[in-house]
Structure 1
Amino acid sequence: MERIIKDVGEIHSRLLDHKVFTQGHTRFFVKEFEEKRGWREEQQAEKLARAVTEMSFTLIPDGETTRNMAAVLSRLQAVNHMSSRILQCENSSDENATLEEGRARRRVAWEQALARSEQRHEEAVRKHEEQVAALRCHYLALGEELHTPTVY
């Protein structure tokens, strides 16, 4: 009877209890997964470690570099200020050139107007002197006529 119970238990465990079978397959799957994935994970971890060390030496500034950054920043601000002043001077010189051109045009126009005015003044003075001379001649002629004895 014992043998029958043992056989029934064994049949029962093989048919209904898959615990051993499942555990074996699970161990095999995990082992295979770790072997296949393990190298890839290790390589990625090494690659990340290399990248971090490179960045720590190249990208992240050390204390001395950060002290120099303040000097560099102040120099950059000074250069920026000087360049803006140069641009302002150039703009003002452009404005000054435009103003000088306008002044030169007005100066030429003013000199031409003064020349025309001078010519008109000289013409008016000449005509006035001619008229004065003509009137003087006329009144001298009238005066002579008055002082000449007339015969009636």
Structure 2
Amino acid sequence: MSRQTPSKSGSPPVQNPKPRDNITAMGAATELIMRDVGEIHSRLLDHRPVIQGETRYFVKEFEEKRGHREMRVLGNLKNSIWETKEQTLPKCVDLMQDQLGSALKKLENANVAILRLQENGQEKAKNDLRKGNNEKLRAHWEIFMEEQHQKRLAVDEEHRKAMMRLKEQYAEMGKDLSKIASL
């Protein structure tokens, strides 16, 4: 396949590779690499042998060492659950329905009482608001009436002064008329 030529130094002959030999060598190297990758994969990522060992240990632990103790425990649990489901649960449901009925009636009565209290509170708040508004209106009314009284006094005073001026004016006109009539 490949031709070998002896070297002058006495070392093994150097091969002159042919292209076909290169492909074969690369195929062999690739095969070795693939085998190494497969081995690494099986060691690092393939957990089946570990899981199988753990499964065997688990089965051995429960079947051989513990016997049927877990089966008895599971059977007792099954009986307890059946008893609870068939006997205790219906009793509890009946008792709960009776108690919830009375509790519901009490809650409805309490709700009605609370609504009444709320309405009374709202009515009282409205009355307080009305009283507050009435007091404000009374205060404004008193201020308004005081202002009107002050204005009335001012108008009355002005009217009195005007009347006095008119009386004086008519008195003078009366004197002037009597002077003119006496002439």
Q: Shorter-chain-normalised TM-score: which range? A: 0.5 to 0.7
Structure 2, unmatched stretches of 5+, are 1-59
Give the deviation of 1:135 after TM superposition. Answer: 0.8
Q: CA 1:123/1:83 → structure 2, altered by over 3 Å: closer, same or farther?
A: same
1:43 equivalent to 2:76? Answer: yes
**Aligned residue in 2 for 1:126:** 157
Equivalences for residues 88-127 of structure 1 within 5 A: 88-127=119-158
Structure 1, unmatched stretches of 5+, are 1-28
Query: Which amino acid in the other structure matches residue 115 of structure 1?
Result: E
Greater relative contact order (Cα 8 A, min sep 6): structure 1 or 2?
2
Give the deviation of 1:120 after TM superposition. Answer: 0.5
Give the deviation of 1:149 after TM superposition. Answer: 5.7
Query: Which amino acid in the other structure matches residue 171 of structure 2?
Result: L
Secondary structure (helix, strand or coil) at the match of 1:148 reads: helix
Partner deviation per Cα, 1:54-85 (whole Å, 9 max, x = no partner): 5455x2225xx756754543343222112111
Higher helix fraction (1 or 2): 1
Q: Given the two structures, how large is their TM-score scaled by the length of structure 1? A: 0.61
**Aligned residue in 2 for 1:73:** 104
Q: CA 1:70/1:150 → structure 2, altered by over 3 Å: closer, same or farther?
A: closer
Q: Given the two structures, how large is their TM-score scaled by the length of structure 2? A: 0.52
CA RMSD of aligned residues (A): 3.2
Q: CA 1:87/1:66 → structure 2, altered by over 3 Å: closer, same or farther?
A: same
**Aligned residue in 2 for 1:21:** none
Equivalences for residues 10-49 of structure 1 within 5 A: 32=63, 35-49=68-82
